[in-house]
Amino acid sequence: MDDIFSPEVMERALTPGVAPPADGPSAAVAAVIRTGLSGAEMLFIERSSKEGDPWSGQMAFPGGRTAASDEHSLATAVRETKEELDLDLSESQLLGRLSDLEGGPRGTRQRLRVTPHLFWLEGERPVVTPNHEVAAAVWVPVTDLLDDARYIQYPYPALGADLWPGIAVEGNRVIWGLTLRMLIDLFERLDRPLTIGL
């Protein structure tokens, strides 16, 4: 596993540069990867529970909407990660980006383009300080993401009785939706496709 989750291999599998300017609303996220005690691990956030927030309590990569002051999608991902976790990615190794995805709250017509950028961190696991938008920061071993015993059908009450594919991780948390689609893209590029279906 560590061989495909090395910076060199991932850099070759990813798209270089920043996303082209969006025609409408856009956002960017940062998928941060490092070597932990159990091999490669990825940083996720659990969003704070907030009434009226369509992503309340969900697992995600740090990130958010593009601001007028952001030069490009990469600037958005770096700025939002700093704001949400006090984690500065400006000096970390940028590996590349995944395909742009169309996001927006399910069940609404709101849409925005979301660009995932991937970063590699060397050294000790960084200390992060979540802001009010983030309930928790969780490092998830890549082996957990590949473990099909963790693949579940996830009920999200806000969307009715439907079930959604998800990956159960630490503390009864579930990665699903747009973030899961990003992971599927990543693992396909690394020739280790997830066996979970959307």
Q: Please give the pLDDT value at position 127.
A: 95
Q: Please give the pLDDT value at position 193.
A: 94
Q: Please give the pLDDT value at position 179.
A: 96
Q: Please give the pLDDT value at position 171.
A: 87
Looking at the domain that runs over 7-142+176-189, which CATH code has it been given? 3.90.79.10
Query: Which residues on neighbouring strands pair with residue 29, listed in sequence order?
Result: 63, 116
Question: Which amino acid is residue 67, in one-letter code?
Answer: A
What does the pLDDT profile of the chain (198 residues) look like in tens digits?
667 889 999 999 999 999 988 888 999 999 999 999 989 999 999 999 876 666 678 999 999 999 999 999 999 999 999 999 999 999 899 999 999 999 765 555 667 899 999 999 999 999 999 999 999 999 999 999 999 999 999 887 666 678 899 999 998 899 999 999 999 999 999 999 999 976
Q: Please give the pLDDT value at position 109.
A: 60
* pTM of the complete model: 0.92
CA dist., res. 179 & res. 58, Å (int): 10
CA dist., res. 96 & res. 14, Å (int): 5
Are 37 and 1 in contact by the 8 Å Cβ rule? The answer is: no
Within 10 A of 77 (CB to CB), how many other CB atoms are there?
A: 31
State the DSSP string of 33-69: EEEETTEEEEEEEEEPP-TT-TTTT-EE-SEEEPPTT
CA dist., res. 20 & res. 114, Å (int): 12
CA dist., res. 45 & res. 134, Å (int): 7
Within 10 A of 86 (CB to CB), how many other CB atoms are there?
A: 13
Cβ-based neighbours of 79, under 8 Å, separated by 6 or more? 67, 70
**What letter does residue 158 receive in the DSSP assignment?**
G
The CA dihedral of 160, 161, 162, 166, to the nearest 10 degrees, is: 90
CA dist., res. 186 & res. 90, Å (int): 22
Question: Which amino acid is residue 28, in one-letter code?
Answer: A
The CA dihedral of 35, 136, 112, 96, to the nearest 10 degrees, is: -10
